[in-house]
Amino acid sequence: MAKDKAPRRPRAESPKGFRDYFGAEVTERKAMLDAIAEVYHRYGFDPLETSAVETVGALGKFLPDIDRPNEGVFAWQEDAEGDKPGDWLALRYDLTAPLARVAAQYRNDIPSPYRRYAMGPVWRNEKPGPGRFRQFYQCDADTVGSGSVAADAEICAMLADTLEAVGIPRGDYIVRVNNRKVLNGVMEVAGVLDPTDPERFFAERGIVLRAIDKLDRLGTDGVRALLGEGRKDESGDFTKGAGLSPDQAEVVMGFMSAKRETGAATVARLHELAGGSAIGLEGVQELEMISELLAAQGYGPDRVEIDPSVVRGLGYYTGPVFEAELTFEILDEKGRKRQFGSVAGGGRYDDLVKRFTGQSVPATGVSIGVDRLLAALQAKGRAGDASAGPVVVTVMDRERMADYLAMAGDLRRAGIRAEVYLGNPKNFGNQLKYADKRGSPVAVIQGGDEAGRGTVVLKDLILGARIAEGASLEEWKARPAQQEVPRADLVAAVRAMLEQG
Amino acid sequence: MAKDKAPRRPRAESPKGFRDYFGAEVTERKAMLDAIAEVYHRYGFDPLETSAVETVGALGKFLPDIDRPNEGVFAWQEDAEGDKPGDWLALRYDLTAPLARVAAQYRNDIPSPYRRYAMGPVWRNEKPGPGRFRQFYQCDADTVGSGSVAADAEICAMLADTLEAVGIPRGDYIVRVNNRKVLNGVMEVAGVLDPTDPERFFAERGIVLRAIDKLDRLGTDGVRALLGEGRKDESGDFTKGAGLSPDQAEVVMGFMSAKRETGAATVARLHELAGGSAIGLEGVQELEMISELLAAQGYGPDRVEIDPSVVRGLGYYTGPVFEAELTFEILDEKGRKRQFGSVAGGGRYDDLVKRFTGQSVPATGVSIGVDRLLAALQAKGRAGDASAGPVVVTVMDRERMADYLAMAGDLRRAGIRAEVYLGNPKNFGNQLKYADKRGSPVAVIQGGDEAGRGTVVLKDLILGARIAEGASLEEWKARPAQQEVPRADLVAAVRAMLEQG
C-alpha cells in the first residue's frame, strides 16, 4: 500500500435531487407561509409541528419487507438493543401520515373536532428530474373528527381566502369541488358496484379509477378505451380495460363531462346520472349542500364551483374532493401560453386513524403545493421584494474601523439594513463590486478628507440599476450619482435616498 | 400458517427521542425565530436554507468505515446504480457543516465576505434523555471570508442586540469573549507548545484542552490534577494527566482566572501571562481590539466583556470565542435558585472550507440554542401569548349551519379568530367543553328564539378563567356572564368583550 496517499477531498456538492435556497428564495417562501398561516389561524386552525422522522410502522404505506423499506421513502434501521432489532425509521413523505399518528396518539387530549395546520419539508426517495426535488415544502390544513359537510365547505372557503391573501386576486383562481360518492353512484348505475356485495367488481373499479385519473394524459378516447376492452399505447404495449360495454362506459364518461353552466344545472345533471344509487344520491346532496353553505357566505361560482371533471385524488378520497387552479396564463419555457394549473388539492378521507385504533374517524383537509404557488406568484411578478440589499459602509482607512462600524450601527438603529465591508479593504473597486453583488442601494464612503471635514459621501447604487432598466437622461441628470453630507446627517440622507429609490 | 391472522396495528407513537409541538409551542418559537431573523437581516446577513440531507462525505466528521457511519448521525446508503455503490446520505447534525459545503460549492458566486444566517432543525443520533431530543432547532449567523476582528466584534454586538430583541433586557445577559490564541500563548509559556515544532507536545495539549473543557464539571482541583499527573474519579478510574509541573500548571490555571475588574485590567493580566509568546500576544491584541470596537459603538462591559474563564469551544475554535449567558436566576425543578446559564456560543474557525478546496478561508459565527432561549423566556414569563383561542360559534340548530358559518365569517373578516363547532351538535354541554379546551374567549349562541328575535347570545368564557385566577366578587358582578345582542352587532360586541378581557 502507498504510504503517503494524500487524503481525498470530499466533493462540495449537495446530494442528487436536493438543492439550496439563498436569500430572497428563503424570504419569499417565508412571507408566503406566514400569510397562509395567518388565514389558517384566523379560521381557528392550530399549528402542529411533528418531527421529520417517523417509525416506518407509523408511516404505514411503506412496510419493511425483505431488505429495507426504501420504496419511495428515505429509511434506515436503528441499531439493535441487545436481542431487540432496531426500529426502522424514515423521513416523512407527507404531512398527512404524521397527522394520522398524532390524532391516534393524542386522541384523549386534543380537542374534537381538531383543526390543525402544518407546514414544512417532506422527503421523497424518487428519481429527481428537472424542477423535481427530493425535499420540498407542503402546507396542510385538516379538520379531524367532523363528518359534517360544513367542514368541507369551510376548507373550500379558507382555500379561496388563502389564495387571495398570498396575492392571487379573485378571478385568477377557482376552487373546484367533486365527490367520490357521486362516482361510486355512477359506477353502481354502470353496473360495476354492487352495494349488496362490496367485493364484487373490485378489480373492474380499480381499472375505472386508474383510467379516470389518466384523463389529463390520455384524453377522453384513451379513457374510453380503458373503460372498455383496453388500450394499446404508442409503444405497442397493451393495457387491459375494465370490460365495460359502450353503454356502461358512456355513464362513466358522462360523469366527467357533467359540468353545466350553473351549479344547479350541474347538480341536476349529476342527479340524472347517479341519483338512482343511494350512495350517488348522498354524494349529489353533499355537493349541493357545500354549494349552498358557500353561497350563503358569499363564495359564489366565481370562487368555488362544482366540477365533476376534477378527477385527481378520486381514488384516494372517500367524499368531497377539492382542487384549486390558477386560471391565468403564463408563458412556458418555450414561450407558449398555458394555464398555470393546480396549486392545491384535498378532500375527505374518513379512515385516517383507523389503522392505529380500529376506529373510523372522519377527516377532511387540503394541501397547498407551496413551491408551485410561489412559482405562480413569481410568474405573475407578485412575489414580494424581500431581497433589498443592505447599505454598505466601505472601508477607506483600516485604522478607523470603529467609525465605520458606528455608521452601520446608526443606520441599523434607524431600522435601515446596513453592514460594513469586512473583506480586505485595499482595493476599493472590489468594495464597490461587493456592494453591487449584494444588491446594495447605497454605498457610504469616508476617506481621510471627508473625515477631516466631518462628512461622508453617499454613492447612489440604485441609479445604476435604474439606468440599466432604461431610466431617462433627465432622470439621470436630476439625480446626483453621489453626494457629500455631514456625518450627522448620514441616517436622514440615506433614508431620503432609499425613499427616492 | 393461520389463515385469518388479524393484521397487527402499528403503534401510534413518535420515534424514541422525537417529540411533537402543538399550538403555542409552535407559534412562540416562530415568533422568536422571526425576531432573531429581523436582527440578523438588519445586520446585512442573508438567509440560507440547505436541505436536511447531506452526503456523509460532505458532512465530514463521520466517515463510513466498515459497516455504516451511524455514530452520532442518522445515515443510510442510497441504492446502487448498476456497479456504482450508492452514496451514504445523512441528516445534518448542525448548520455549520452545510455552510462549509455551500461556501466551497458556490465559492465563485457568493459575495465575499459572505454573511449568512440559517435556522432550522438538526438531528443527532444519540441516546435521548429527559429534555434531550434527537431533533432540535439551531439558529446560526456566520461571516465567511473575513479575517478581520471587526467581524468578530460585529457578531458579539449582533448577539447582544438579538437577545434584547427577543425579550432579554440589558442586565439580564452578558456576552463573554475569550481567545484561543491567548491559550496557545499560555501553553507556549507553560512549555507545552513549541512554535518551531508544532507537532511536539501534541498529546499533552490535547489533554490540556480536554481538562480545561471540564472546568465546569470538575472544578479547579480536578482540572489541576488533569494538568499534572492525572485524576482518579469517584469510581476509582484513573485519567492520565498532561504531566505538567505545578509551576507549568499554575500558568494554565492562571489563564482561566485572569478576569479582573475592568477589561483593561484583564487585558493587562493576559499580557503578563501570554505576552511572552508571539501567538499569545496576537490573541491579547485581538481581545483588546474587539473590546475597543465594541466600546466605540456603545457596547460596554454591561453587555460584552472579556472573560478568560470562557473555556467551552476553545478546543474547536482558532481565535476569538464567544458565549452568551443569561445572568438572572430561575428556580430549577427542585425549587432551588440557579443561574440560567449559556444560550449561545460561537467563535472563529479558520479552516471551514479547507477540507473541500484545500484553501484556508477565515470564518466566524455564532449559534443560538433556540430551545434553551425559549425555555428561558418562558421561565421569565416573557414568551408571547400567541395562544389565544378562537371565538367558538356553537350550533343549536343543525339546519341553520349556513347562518353559523356566516357569523364566523363576519368575525374573521374583522380580523377576529373564529370557528364554528363542527362536531356532533346534539349535546350542547360538549360544545362548551370544546370551547373551553380550545381556550376560547367567547362562545356565540343562537337558538330558535334568538334567531326569531334577530339576536345572538355571547357567553363570556374569559370570565371563567378570571374567576379561576381569583377575580373579586365585584369584578364578577360587574361583568355579565352572558349578554344578548342584535345579530347586526355581533362583531362590535365580541370585539368589546375581547378588549375587556
- If you average pLDDT over residues A30-41, what whole number do you get? 95
Please state, rounded to an integer, the average pLDDT across all residues of chain A: 88
Minimum distance, in Å, between the CA of residue B466 and any CA atom of chain A:
22
Decide if A22 and B105 are in contact by the 8 Å CB cutoff: no
- If you average pLDDT over residues B160-182, what whole number do you get? 95
pLDDT of residue A173: 96
pLDDT of residue A1: 43
Decide if B437 and A355 are in contact by the 8 Å CB cutoff: no
Asked if pLDDT for residue B60 goes beyond 80, the answer is no
Architecture per CATH, B167-343: 2-Layer Sandwich (3.30)
> Hey, what long-range contacts does A212-221 have (CB within 8 A, 24 or more apart)?
A212/A183, A212/A252, A212/A256, A212/A311, A212/A314, A212/A315, A213/A311, A213/A312, A213/A314, A213/A315, A215/A256, A215/A309, A215/A311, A220/A253, A220/A256, A220/A257
Higher pLDDT, B440 or B70: B440
Asked if the C-beta of A26 comes within 8 angstroms of chain B's C-beta atoms, the answer is yes
Asked if the C-beta of B66 comes within 8 angstroms of chain A's C-beta atoms, the answer is no
Asked if pLDDT for residue B109 goes beyond 70, the answer is yes
Of A462-471, B100-109, B236-245, least confident by mean pLDDT is A462-471
Say how many CB pairs under 8 Å bridge A and B: 275
pLDDT confidence bin for A383, thresholds 50/70/90: low
d(Cα B206, Cα B223) in Å, to the nearest integer?
Answer: 13
pLDDT confidence bin for A301, thresholds 50/70/90: very high
Asked if pLDDT for residue B42 goes beyond 50, the answer is yes
Asked if pLDDT for residue A217 goes beyond 50, the answer is yes
Asked if the C-beta of A247 comes within 8 angstroms of chain B's C-beta atoms, the answer is no
For residue range B193-211, what is the model confidence (pLDDT) as tens digits?
998 998 899 888 889 988 8
pLDDT of residue B3: 47
Asked if the C-beta of B234 comes within 8 angstroms of chain A's C-beta atoms, the answer is no
Decide if A113 and B44 are in contact by the 8 Å CB cutoff: no
Asked if pLDDT for residue B383 goes beyond 70, the answer is no
Does an H or E element contain B256, and which?
Answer: helix B246-256
**Mutation choice for B interface testing from A8, A19, A21, A22 by most B CBs within 10 A:** A22
- Let me know the angle formed at the C-alpha of A79 by A74 and A85, rounded to the nearest 5 degrees: 100
Helix (H, G, I), strand (E, B) or coil at B369: coil
The amino acid at B310: V
SS3 content of chain A, % helix, strand, coil (to 5): 40, 20, 40
pLDDT of residue A373: 93
| DSSP H helices in A414-487 | 428-437, 448-453, 462-468, 473-478
Asked if the C-beta of A28 comes within 8 angstroms of chain B's C-beta atoms, the answer is no
Asked if the C-beta of B435 comes within 8 angstroms of chain A's C-beta atoms, the answer is no
Residue B79: what are its φ and ψ, rounded to 5°? Answer: -60, 145
Rg (CA), chain B: 30
Decide if A13 and B150 are in contact by the 8 Å CB cutoff: no
Strand B442-445 relative to strand B391-393: parallel, antiparallel, unpaired?
A: parallel
**Mutation choice for A interface testing from B91, B126, B422 by most A CBs within 10 A:** B422
C-alpha cell at A389: 440589499
pLDDT of residue B37: 96
Asked if the C-beta of A19 comes within 8 angstroms of chain B's C-beta atoms, the answer is yes
Decide if A48 and B22 are in contact by the 8 Å CB cutoff: yes
Residues of chain B found within 8 Å of residue A61, distances taken between Cβ atoms: none
The number of C-alpha atoms within 13 Å of A491 and in the hemisphere containing its C-beta is: 13
What share of chain A has pLDDT > 90, as a percent? Answer: 62
Please state, rounded to an integer, the average pLDDT across all residues of chain B: 88
Residues of chain A found within 8 Å of residue B422, distances taken between Cβ atoms: 113, 143, 146, 148, 150-151, 154
Q: Characterize A258-278 residue by residue with b for buried, 16 or more Cβ atoms within 10 angstroms of its Cβ, and e for exposed.
A: bbeeebeebbbbbbebbbebe
Which residues on adjacent β-strands are paired with residue B144? B114, B363
Decide if A54 and B14 are in contact by the 8 Å CB cutoff: yes
pLDDT of residue A388: 80
For residue range A484-497, what is the model confidence (pLDDT) as tens digits?
999 999 999 999 99
Residues of chain B found within 8 Å of residue A148, distances taken between Cβ atoms: 401, 422
Nearest to B45 by CA among B125, B118, B96, B149: B118
C-alpha cell at A379: 410568474
Decide if B46 and A55 are in contact by the 8 Å CB cutoff: no
**Mutation choice for B interface testing from A49, A152, A303, A430 by most B CBs within 10 A:** A49
d(Cα B391, Cα B412) in Å, to the nearest integer?
Answer: 10
Architecture per CATH, A391-500: 3-Layer(aba) Sandwich (3.40)
pLDDT of residue B308: 92
User: How remote is the C-alpha of A264 from its chain's centroid?
Assistant: 32
Asked if pLDDT for residue A3 goes beyond 50, the answer is no
- If you average pLDDT over residues B308-332, what whole number do you get? 88
Residues of chain A found within 8 Å of residue B47, distances taken between Cβ atoms: 21-23, 26-27, 30
A488: number of Cβ within 10 Å: 12
Nearest to A281 by CA among A375, A186, A369: A186
Higher pLDDT, A499 or B29: B29
- If you average pLDDT over residues A76-91, what whole number do you get? 88
Residue B403 DSSP one-character state:
H
pLDDT confidence bin for A417, thresholds 50/70/90: very high
Minimum distance, in Å, between the CA of residue A113 and any CA atom of chain B:
6
C-alpha cell at A135: 425535499
**Mutation choice for B interface testing from A18, A38, A42 by most B CBs within 10 A:** A42
Tell me which residue in A9, A46, A298 faces B355 most closely, judged by beta carbons.
A9
Asked if pLDDT for residue A92 goes beyond 80, the answer is yes
- Sequence ranges of the domains in chain A: 391-500
Residues of chain A found within 8 Å of residue B152, distances taken between Cβ atoms: none
Q: Is A479 one of the annotated binding-site residues? A: no
From A414, which residue of chain B is nearest by alpha-carbon distance?
B42
Minimum distance, in Å, between the CA of residue B184 and any CA atom of chain A:
26
Nearest to A382 by CA among A171, A169, A170, A174: A169
Decide if A44 and B417 are in contact by the 8 Å CB cutoff: yes
Residues of chain A found within 8 Å of residue B402, distances taken between Cβ atoms: 292-293, 296-297
pLDDT confidence bin for A477, thresholds 50/70/90: low
Residues of chain A found within 8 Å of residue B146, distances taken between Cβ atoms: 422-423
Minimum distance, in Å, between the CA of residue A41 and any CA atom of chain B:
7
Decide if A70 and B79 are in contact by the 8 Å CB cutoff: yes
- If you average pLDDT over residues A126-142, what whole number do you get? 89
**Fold match between domain B167-343 and domain B391-500:** no
Nearest to A344 by CA among A317, A372, A319: A372
